[in-house]
Amino acid sequence: MSRFVHVPAPGLPCDVESLGSKGAGLCEARAAGLSVPAFVVLDTAFFSAFSASGGWPMDIDVRSIVAPIEEATGTRLGDVRAPLLLSVRSSPVVSMPGMLDTVLDVGATREVVDALASLRSDAAFALDVRRRFLESWGTVVVGLPRARFHETFGARGRATEPRATSSEESLRATIARHEAAIGDRACDDAVEQLKHAIEAVLRSWEGPRARAQRHAQGLDGTTGPAVVVQAMVFGNASGASGAGVAFSRNPVTGENELFGEFLPCAQGDEVVSGRSSPSGLRATASGRGARESLEAVCPEVLPTLAAATLALESRLGDVVDVEFTVENGAFWLLQARLAKKTPRATVRVAVEQVRAGSLDRTAALERVGPTAFAALVGWRVPGSETLAAAGHVPLTRGLAASAGAVSGRVVYEPDAAVDAARAGEAVVLVRPECSPEDAPGIRAAAGVLTSSGGLTSHAAVISRSLGRPCIVAASDLRLDAARGRAEVRTERGMRALPAVVTLDGVTGHVFEGAIPLEVDFALPEARELLAWAVDADAPEWRALAAQWLHDGPAEGPGTG
């Protein structure tokens, strides 16, 4: 066994510095007795060796990396009799959702795909696996722009139509186009695929997205990532299958309830990328509809998922965020980490955990921090009666993904949002969906509006981490971002999206023009937390307590 390969086993430490956040989270999940597909972690020292040698370390045999997974599953990479397919994911020490690359369905050679079709008696499934591999390989390993594969995206943003309704003929045509786009940069050797996939994931650490995110988080100079190599499970399989993301509590409000989204007949990248608009976990949740919720498609999985998130929250001590796949009714956990939460949720959860006795007051203040608390003094749209009296009627509506309110000029490109921020102007970034490449624009914009995506998309997750208003899945929007314009469907027909809009991140409403906003300081738990700060051994907390527990600030913050 290579000195860099960590194989999870009872009693071994789940060391974040060595295994990265994703690798350590999976080890915690395995230690908690949860269903996790077989995996190994190439630790952060492997990245150091890779960087020092300028490429693949000569003394590392690729087969040795995958051997523990083969032994655990009884399958073998490249073997047509019992084929093993793999995912290759980054595992940075500090979680950076969407900033590093992932390669899925590694091992899906032509021979393996033919074997899968025969072994499962399902040619459409096997062809869909090949299609997904080629898209992943072409964009991440070869470096082709995602637009080269854009022709397979439907009007709603879903990568082709749902696999269950795709014909073999249409899948073969898509595969042929993908293979033509990749050309002589294709690879049909499963072991070589794994090697190149690992190299590509490691190199994404120095890509522009990751470098910008590290700089924004103050993480310049930090250790490079570990890599998780894991057996694939297939949410795009026939039957009761799909993929989703779940939180042990609502990351927007902090409410103590299972929260998340589910997309039937899909793999996890479709959920988090924002290309699709998933359903909720429960049939009563908003989104794509009750018939596509986890509760409707796989009702027996819902209590299993809820128990898993509670077990992990208890183990890790805070709200957790998990990615999961259901394959033919079987539940699999693919990722477990501490969740990105809005400042509102951070305060509410900390106070509730202190009340429950699972967190002490000093730790609660340290977790929240003065900066997060200050973000709670934000802006809100006036009440409905005030709006009606002023003649403000919602122009359209989407899913409220991150609370707050903002008015700003509409821009359609991330670069335009960055330029506006440098000039001190508040703008609203409007996109069909937000890919990881759009992260600089999300950070620069005062608010984000997308026509597709869901509550766990990149736009939503990044906006929540910034405390930035965000509305997703405003499906009445029709965007032509390349030409810098959009239309919105109203009761009176289609009309141009105004040059300035106001977002209400609480209701999901979008208004025309700039609406005068009100100061929002309504979280009851905030006053309780501030009361603890009176005796805190931290000058900044005592200053906040003195300011807000008496007369409050002289004036509220600006809307920009």
* Residues comprising the chain, all counted: 560
Helix, strand, coil percentages, rounded to 5, for the chain = 40, 20, 40
Is residue 432 pLDDT above 70, yes or no? yes
Is residue 521 pLDDT above 70, yes or no? no
Cα–Cα dist 170/178, whole Å: 12
Cα–Cα dist 96/217, whole Å: 9
| Residue 385 domain flag | yes
For residue 434, give its domain range.
379-520
Q: Name the band, by pLDDT with cuts 50, 70 and 90, for residue 279.
A: confident
Radius of gyration of the chain from its Cα atoms, rounded to whole angstroms: 24
With contact defined as beta carbons under 8 Å apart, do 68 and 75 qualify? no
CA atoms lying within 13 Å on the CB side of residue 226: 30
Cα–Cα dist 396/407, whole Å: 15
Which backbone phi and psi does 139 adopt, to 5 degrees?
Answer: -85, -45
Same domain for 240 and 329: yes
Same domain for 507 and 436: yes
Gap between the terminal Cα atoms of the chain: 55
Is residue 93 pLDDT above 70, yes or no? yes
Strand partners, 487: 478, 496
pLDDT value at residue 377: 64
Same domain for 319 and 304: yes
Same domain for 514 and 451: yes
Cα–Cα dist 80/302, whole Å: 34
Instruction: Average the pLDDT over 194-215 and give the result.
Output: 92
Encode 419-434 in three state secondary structure: HHHHCCCCEEEEECCC
Domain boundary among 286, 321, 339: 339
- Cβ count near 383 (within 10 Å): 10
Is residue 185 pLDDT above 90, yes or no? yes
Cα–Cα dist 537/53, whole Å: 48
| Residue 209 domain flag | no
CATH (domain of 258): 3.30.470.20
| Residue 131 domain flag | no
pLDDT value at residue 346: 92
| Residue 183 domain flag | no
pLDDT value at residue 548: 67
Pick from 452, 413, 412, 415: nearest CA to 432: 452
With contact defined as beta carbons under 8 Å apart, do 450 and 378 qualify? no
CATH (domain of 410): 3.50.30.10
Instruction: Average the pLDDT over 71-78 and give the result.
Output: 97
pLDDT value at residue 216: 82
What residue type is assigned to position 136 of the chain?
S
With contact defined as beta carbons under 8 Å apart, do 502 and 513 qualify? yes
pLDDT value at residue 437: 84
- Cβ count near 450 (within 10 Å): 31
**Residue 257 corresponds to which tokens in the numbers above?**
């309830």
Place of tokens 């049939």: 283
Domain count, the chain: 3
With contact defined as beta carbons under 8 Å apart, do 38 and 231 qualify? yes
Pick from 434, 428, 440: nearest CA to 505: 428
Residues 6 or more apart in contact with residue 545 via CB below 8 angstroms: 530, 531, 533, 534, 536
Cα–Cα dist 287/326, whole Å: 19
Instruction: Average the pLDDT over 469-498 and give the result.
Output: 90
With contact defined as beta carbons under 8 Å apart, do 327 and 264 qualify? no
The CA-CA-CA angle for residues 489, 490, 492, to 5°, reads 120
What SS3 state is found at 369? Answer: helix
Is residue 530 pLDDT above 90, yes or no? no
| Residue 422 domain flag | yes
Percent of the chain residues past pLDDT 70, beyond the cut: 91
Pick from 389, 417, 369, 295: nearest CA to 540: 369
Among 210-219, 245-254, 266-275, whose mean pLDDT is lowest? 266-275
Instruction: Average the pLDDT over 291-320 and give the result.
Output: 94
**Residue 374 corresponds to which tokens in the numbers above?**
């200050």
pLDDT value at residue 221: 77
Same domain for 402 and 315: no
| Residue 146 domain flag | no
Same domain for 539 and 505: no
With contact defined as beta carbons under 8 Å apart, do 396 and 503 qualify? no
Distances (CA, A) of 61 to 84, 107, 393: 18, 17, 64
Same domain for 397 and 514: yes
With contact defined as beta carbons under 8 Å apart, do 431 and 472 qualify? no
Q: Name the band, by pLDDT with cuts 50, 70 and 90, for residue 238.
A: confident
pLDDT value at residue 553: 38
Same domain for 241 and 322: yes
Same domain for 408 and 514: yes
Same domain for 516 and 383: yes
| Residue 401 domain flag | yes
Rounded mean pLDDT of the chain? Answer: 88
Percent of the chain residues past pLDDT 90, beyond the cut: 64
Instruction: Average the pLDDT over 264-286 and give the result.
Output: 80
With contact defined as beta carbons under 8 Å apart, do 295 and 283 qualify? yes
Cα torsion at 278, 284, 286, 287 (round to 10°)? Answer: 20
With contact defined as beta carbons under 8 Å apart, do 171 and 126 qualify? no
Same domain for 474 and 400: yes
pLDDT value at residue 550: 55
DSSP 58: T
130-151, pLDDT tens digit by residue? 999 999 999 999 999 887 886 5
Cα torsion at 347, 348, 352, 353 (round to 10°)? Answer: -40
Is residue 307 pLDDT above 80, yes or no? yes
Cα torsion at 283, 287, 292, 297 (round to 10°)? Answer: -50
Strand partners, 86: 106, 231
DSSP 235: T
The pTM of the full predicted model, rounded to 2 decimals, is 0.73
| Residue 163 domain flag | no
Same domain for 515 and 385: yes
Encode 79-91 in three state secondary structure: CCCCEECEEEEEE
Residues 6 or more apart in contact with residue 496 via CB below 8 angstroms: 485, 486, 487, 488
**Residue 473 corresponds to which tokens in the numbers above?**
């899945």
